Structure 1
Amino acid sequence: MNKSTTPRELRQAVRAGQYDGPTAGYCEGFVQANLMILPQEYAADFRKLCELNARACPLLAVSEPGNWTLPTLGEDIDVRSDVPRYCLYRNGRMAEPLTHLEEVWRGDLLVFALGCSFSFEHLLMSNDLPVRHIELGASSPVFISSIDNPRSGPFAGKLAVSMWPFKPAQAIKAIEITSRYPQVHGAPVHFGDPNEIGIADFNRPDFHGLSVVRDGEVPVFWACGLTPQVAVIAAEIPFAIGHAVGHMLITAMSVDQLLS
């Protein structure tokens, strides 16, 4: 799959079963979205979680109950088939990975689309900043930190963070750039010693990803859109669906539209 393909072309390839891989580095200039799909009875509490924890859960769009479209993010989006891989959770445990949702779709489900840091990768690279996981052909590693999420109904858990390594001067530049895009996580939440946020070994992520911290570099941690899945696991609700790690919905929204 050509990484310079358009969002619509990539979604069509995913829908047709022609691509099911990670989306890091694809369709630069367009917003990538994390997904959380929940029964309507949990929607109000989850929306409140997003409002209380906007750094990790920047809300881009919400569907109507039972509706699998997100017209503000792309006229032709079908959330049931346009994400390369999904995770189905039952009672706080991952029940199975999926590539399509038609067989498990329900009329009471709402889709929450949340901004993703993959959206600003090209901005870093265009400013001569390395994006290590793209160099390695992978997704960024994600860790469950010791930072508590604010509680909303059954949802709380810990903050998930992605790690990107930079030299100190590069880290300052990355912070300046990303702080202008709060709807795709904005500035990092921590840099330096990972033990200060409860991460004992940054070579062993909680969610699959790949990075290497080289001599002279410091690990920099951004709030991650897997935080809702951590909250769903902790809440042990009967049914929920999220995107698989590193496998996002690529929207038709330009990153420039989010510039603050």
Structure 2
Amino acid sequence: MKSDFISPGISPAGGRDPDLAEPAAVRRAIRRGDFRSFTNHAAPGFAQGNLVIVPAPFADDFAQFCELNSRALPVMGRSAAGVPHLPELASDLDLRTDVGGYMVFENGVLTGTPRDIRDLWRDDLVAFVLGCSFSFESVLQSHGVRLRHLDEGNVSAMYVTNRATVPVGPFGGDMVVSMRPMTPQDAIRAALICQHYPEYHGAPVHIGLPHLLGIDDLTRSYGGHGLTALREDELPVFWACAATAQIAAVAAGLPLCITHYKAHMVLTDVPVLSKSAGEPTFGGRDA
């Protein structure tokens, strides 16, 4: 299959810049081909999700796999077979066209990275949207937590760990995590805040000492992207990541599996509601 995926950050000639504050505007721009950047800078305050599409005979096993590994795989929505829409996430959302890039796997092998999947859609396909840690980043920033990867126009790096998931049917394998470099103070803040957002992976699963997760080299990230370099005053902070589902589906060798392209998430109209009543109150950055 020929790929027509456009590299992140590059828009076609004549493209129009969308209102990045509005998820519907960004989705329309993606649909037109005018927006192809990573989505972690888009629509702050609205939930983003990972996309996993599997044939219907595998859908129930995949749903149970997500349920038993919900820290990494919180389900935001599941479509009916053959239906590429999830109106509970956004009324105009078309999962065939509204993601900035897709990855197509056949029998566990990557065969294409198209910009839309209308020609691949079938009546037996079931789409899952899983919670994404991009969703809580604006919450952390509102509490004064510095996210250096955002400041530098990058994304969080991902790694495959040595922590096994609970297998179901053909699905299994090790958990994937995302990593954000943080000062010790910010790491504590982030853990206290994110524990109130289990729908976006909750609190970090590990802070510091990446070798305990089976990660020997931070420069070698899963997918080969993301901010991996730590400063002297920073610790690596790791969250469970829904990319766990992608490697599980690929390892299962499904006849067809379609996911989003790395860091090009499903943008929803679901607001990330403030839960300040249950969050700690902080003073200045040195508090």
TM superposition score normalised by structure 1: 0.96
Matching residue of 1:25: 41
**1:115 lines up with 2:131 in the alignment:** yes
Secondary structure of 2:190's match?
Answer: helix
**Are 1:77 and 2:77 an aligned pair?**
no
Alignment partner for residue 198 of structure 2, among 182, 187, 196?
182
In structure 2, what is the Cα distance between the partners aligned to 1:49 and 1:182? 17
Q: What residue identity is the alignment partner of 1:103?
A: D
Which letter does structure 2 place at the counterpart of 1:15? R
Partner of 1:43: 59
Q: Is the 8 A contact 1:25 1:122 kept in 2?
A: no
- Give 2:236's match in structure 1, choosing from 206, 211, 219: 219
Distance 2:140 2:168 in 1: 34
Deviations along 1:179-205, one digit per CA (max 9) or x if unpaired, are: 110001111111111000100111110
Larger displacement relative to structure 2 (209-218 or 14-23): 209-218
Q: 1:244 aligns with which of 261, 266, 278?
A: 261
Residue in structure 1 matched with residue 14 of structure 2 by the alignment: none
Q: Deviations over 1:59-111 (max 9, x none)?
A: 01100000000010010000000000110011112111111010111110011
Letter in 2 for 1:122: S
Gap change, CA 1:258 and 1:106, over 3 Å in 2: farther
Identity in percent = 39
Is contact 1:183–1:258 with CA below 8 Å preserved after alignment?
no
1:206 and 1:227 map into 2 onto residues whose CA distance is 11
How has the CA–CA distance of structure 1 residues 239 and 22 changed in structure 2, closer, same or farther, with 3 Å as cutoff?
same
Between the aligned partners of 2:177 and 2:109, the Cα distance in structure 1 is 20
Deviation readout 1:119-169 (Å, 9 max, x if unpaired):
011111112211122122122111111111110000001101000011112
2:273 is paired with a residue whose SS is: helix
The question of whether the paired residues in 2 share the 8 Å contact of 1:3 and 1:25 is answered with: no
Match of 1:146 in 2: 162
Structure with larger RCO (C-alpha < 8 A, sep 6+): 1
Match of 1:255 in 2: 272
2:141 aligned counterpart, secondary structure: helix
Contact conserved, 2:170 with 2:252, CA < 8 A, in 1? yes
Matched, 1:93 2:98: no
- Counterpart AA for 1:10: V
> For structure 2, which runs of at least 5 residues remain unmatched after alignment?
1-16, 279-287
1:137 aligns with 2:130: no
Q: Larger deviation: 201-210 or 159-168?
A: 201-210
Matched, 1:230 2:247: yes
Distance 1:236 1:172 in 2: 39
Contact 1:73–1:251 (Cα < 8 Å) also in 2: yes
Query: Is the CA contact 2:28–2:98 (under 8 Å) kept in the aligned structure 1?
Result: yes
2:254 alignment partner AA: I
Q: In structure 1, what is the Cα distance between the partners aligned to 2:124 and 2:260? A: 19
Change (3 A) 1:147 1:3: farther
Aligned counterparts of 1:245 and 1:84: Cα–Cα separation in 2: 9
Aligned counterpart, 1:156: 172
1:250 is paired with a residue of what secondary structure? strand
